[in-house]
Structure 1
Amino acid sequence: MLFKSLLIAAACAVGLQASAQGLVPLPPQPDGVAWPTESWPEGEVPAGIDEELSLLVRDAMATSVTEPMGQTRAIIIIHEGRLISESYADGFGPDTKQVSWSMAKSITSALVGRAVEIGLIEDIDYVMPTPFPEGDPRGEITWRQWLTMTDGLDYLEIGSTGLADNDVVQMMYGPGRFDVAQHIVDEFELAHDPGAVWNYSTAGFHLISWALQKLHEDTLHCSHLPHGECAEAMGLYERKAWARDLHAYLLFDQIGMDAQPEFDAAGTFLGGSLVWASARDFAKFGYLYLRDGVWEGERLLPEGWVDFSRRNPVSTKVNVYGAGWWLGADPAPEPAGQAATTPPFDAFSAQGHEGQTIWIVPSKDLVIVRLGLMPNGGDNWPRLYEWNQSVARLFPDVPNQEVSSAEGEG
């Protein structure tokens, strides 16, 4: 046990040095390995780790909702482009669509990246379209500030004391449930200068989804009408049909991901919370990021977008969040408790309510998907963080992985 502690301490020192220097490069597609567009190629667990990996997977699959880390419903492990481990709880399987919860934020961030890549968004430092009235200072917040949760709105989600003061609950299941965008306009004023303070916000990502839909409306040539009239002219069915046009942004068809978004009654895609997909498809999405936004030789996301997503906004004290993605590990996370504290420190992740994670580790050429059901309180999230890190530590480092100092601002 002492030896293990010394190893982790040594790795922490290396991680701190790497963090100061820059990002671990994203590994390229291995030669001779097929892209998983149609199905995942299968592979073997690396020699020498099979027993320990099987134990970690078995223990995770054995826990109940009331135990630490909760119930695990699916585990997928992708190493060097191949599926090497797959487990499901009773009633779940490879084709079962499961809810993303806030992993949807990472998907919505990717949709913005795709819109940048194909020229629908010229610059993320430009003002993002919003439903705020003309002259409202909230209408001057940029794409970057929304993506990095530095929008400055007076909004409370993490740190709420109950359902009554939790703004996401009131927005999605209380008075705002029929029209989340209008609820945001009515309820959340500016509390800080945009760009200065990080504050976790599902509301912000719902507005990003609203803005992407606004871009779609403009392409349907009704941008000369006010937003509400444009939506009415399109018809609610056509507005919700925007789900099929996600391919125009991220090209889900190209990565073979069958994703089903949810919408509120006003037709706004709930891009901060609700996308349904199978564990294998969530793994494909993680793999797109592991491969730097490139798929089958085609760049789907702008060069540098993934690095932008996995780097904290330097304008704040926060070191656990990038642009729609959690920065998976830091020896001293700020805010405390919002990240793993053990190596590998290059991990970054999509995370969702009740224990959904897509854990990406470039230094190991690894994607780990865990879907489940667990309470958000207590020691559950730290246990889940450490479980992912314990799995990752079993794998060998990718050869010749030198830390990059490139800024990758997107």
Structure 2
Amino acid sequence: MTKKDMKKSLRNLFILSFLLNGCGNSGSSNEIATVNSNEISPFSWSLSSPQEEGMDSDKLENVLEYVFDDDFSTQGLIVVRNGKIVIEKYQDISDSTISGLLSVFSDKEILSWGTGLTYDDLKDIFGNKNKDSLATSWSSAKSITSTLVGIAIEEGFIDSVDEYASRYLPDWIGTDKENNITIKNLLEMRSLLKCPPGGNGGSSIYYQEDQLAPSKDRNFDPDISQANPPYFNNWVYCNADTMLLGEILLNATGKSVQEFGDYYLFSKVGMTVDWWLDGKGNYLAYCCVDMTTRDFAKFGLLWSNAGFWGGEQIIPAEWIAESLSSKINIDWSETTFYNYQWYTHNKFTDADNSIEVYGFGTKGYNTNNIWIIPS
């Protein structure tokens, strides 16, 4: 795949944490206006302190010590309560992380595009992290894509999640996938299609110039559909399912996830978004949105407010409720559930297990996460 910039290709490690109180068819005549950067709605964060917002400063100090331990190479953390930033910290790349990256890039069989970088190159790319620095979502982008599907349904571009995906994926017409996979199946990652090889949800497609083709050209996996009992509600975490949601949005609205998101979501919240493409110009709906850490925080704050922002219902409240309905118990946790590309946790605990709270959020490679704790 093409790389716009090395700062989008290496590890942008950050955690976003929130402690908060808290459509038609491919032939639709709906038109989407072009959104220019000067049309982005203004928004200014309010800064506060943990004490002013009723939080325990000592516990938050322990959080900072843990998160910014050298073992994690964390580069950014924001904690928001009552809509105000109470903690914000950034960290440059550490010498130990640079050494690790140089070791990886020395092996051309692993990554050919990173070879030739020096210590000074990496220090320049990842140094001086602050509130204006870009961070990469990795798989937290899946939750953004799902949000855009919900908006597309509300705006009339897609009828419902129960439509067959083949209505917007014409290559599936006349195949066994035509009348067997719904948009909902893809949102839930229960398509029953064989996931491409590689860890982290079939990561092998990441290194292909065209990532859409192998996502579409999959067959049903008998190991899933014939499992007895079915493995974890037929749930298989797979990047390719989300990649298809991006193509469905394109064919339903006539706009890419970037363009559609700019008009219906990002500009309204004041988020400046740069979404990665593969070598064929396909947007990576499953991965890799670049924003500042503060802009990722806006997305979390929007969800914590049930999709309401600046006097406007931007995300349908019904979509948020359905997304957080916690229907699928996933394979690696008894208390973690998955639905519509979001995670819900029935039990977050503190260090001494003295409290248990509910939360939901997004998860991305290298802990690029957004967590919302309504209580």
1:94 deviates by 0.5
Distance 1:315 1:360, change over 3 A: closer
Q: Which position in structure 2 is the counterpart of 1:77? A: 79
Q: Which position in structure 2 is the counterpart of 1:56? A: 63
- Aligned mates of 1:101, 1:136 — CA distance in 2: 32
Q: Which position in structure 1 is the counterpart of 2:240? A: 203
Q: Which position in structure 2 is the counterpart of 1:182? A: 213
Is the contact between residue 77 and residue 85 of structure 1 (CA under 8 Å) also seen in structure 2?
Answer: yes
Matched to 1:153, the amino acid is: L
Is the contact between residue 152 and residue 190 of structure 1 (CA under 8 Å) also seen in structure 2?
Answer: yes
| Count of residue correspondences | 285
1:355 deviates by 1.2
1:88 deviates by 0.2
1:27-106 matches, within 5 Å, as: 37-46=42-51, 47=54, 49-61=56-68, 63-64=69-70, 67=71, 70-90=72-92, 91-106=128-143
Q: What SS does the aligned partner of 2:46 have?
A: coil
Distance 1:286 1:330, change over 3 A: same
Is the contact between residue 348 and residue 360 of structure 1 (CA under 8 Å) also seen in structure 2?
Answer: yes
Q: What SS does the aligned partner of 1:266 have?
A: coil
RMSD: 2.8
1:355 correspondence with 2:367: yes
1:92 deviates by 1.1
Q: Which position in structure 1 is the counterpart of 2:15? A: none
Matched to 1:169, the amino acid is: S
- Aligned mates of 1:151, 1:77 — CA distance in 2: 36
Q: Which position in structure 2 is the counterpart of 1:311? A: 325
Q: What SS does the aligned partner of 1:137 have?
A: coil
1:11-410 matches, within 5 Å, as: 37-46=42-51, 47=54, 49-61=56-68, 63-64=69-70, 67=71, 70-90=72-92, 91-128=128-165, 129-130=168-169, 132-140=171-179, 141-155=181-195, 163=198, 168-173=202-207, 177-191=208-222, 192=224, 197-217=234-254, 243-248=258-263, 250-313=264-327, 319-330=336-347, 344-363=356-375
Distance 1:307 1:27, change over 3 A: farther
Distance 1:282 1:116, change over 3 A: same
Distance 1:131 1:352, change over 3 A: farther
- Aligned mates of 1:342, 1:309 — CA distance in 2: 29
Q: What SS does the aligned partner of 1:149 have?
A: coil
Task: Name the structure with the higher strand share.
Answer: 2
1:173-223 CA-to-partner distances (Å, cap 9, x unmatched) read 1xxx12222112334434445995111111100100111111233xxxxxx
1:108 deviates by 0.4
- Aligned mates of 2:304, 2:88 — CA distance in 1: 19
- Aligned mates of 1:316, 1:103 — CA distance in 2: 17
Is the contact between residue 142 and residue 242 of structure 2 (CA under 8 Å) also seen in structure 1?
Answer: yes
- Aligned mates of 1:199, 1:120 — CA distance in 2: 28
1:58-115 CA-to-partner distances (Å, cap 9, x unmatched) read 3322x12xx2xx1111000110111111000022110111110000001001111111
- Aligned mates of 2:329, 2:140 — CA distance in 1: 24
Is the contact between residue 235 and residue 328 of structure 2 (CA under 8 Å) also seen in structure 1?
Answer: no
Distance 1:327 1:166, change over 3 A: closer
- Aligned mates of 2:297, 2:55 — CA distance in 1: 24
Distance 1:315 1:180, change over 3 A: same
1:342 deviates by 9.0
Matched to 1:172, the amino acid is: Y
Gaps of 5+ in 2: 1-19, 23-40, 93-127
- Aligned mates of 2:174, 2:371 — CA distance in 1: 41
Distance 1:287 1:103, change over 3 A: same
Q: Give the % identical residues.
A: 27
- Aligned mates of 2:317, 2:73 — CA distance in 1: 38
- Aligned mates of 2:87, 2:329 — CA distance in 1: 40
Distance 1:148 1:37, change over 3 A: farther
Distance 1:253 1:166, change over 3 A: closer
Is the contact between residue 344 and residue 361 of structure 1 (CA under 8 Å) also seen in structure 2?
Answer: no
- Aligned mates of 1:274, 1:209 — CA distance in 2: 13
Is the contact between residue 310 and residue 325 of structure 1 (CA under 8 Å) also seen in structure 2?
Answer: yes
Distance 1:166 1:277, change over 3 A: closer
Gaps of 5+ in 1: 1-25, 29-35, 158-162, 218-238, 332-340, 364-410
- Aligned mates of 2:77, 2:360 — CA distance in 1: 17
Q: What SS does the aligned partner of 1:349 have?
A: strand
> TM-score when scaled to structure 2?
0.69
- Aligned mates of 1:310, 1:343 — CA distance in 2: 22
Matched to 2:259, the amino acid is: R
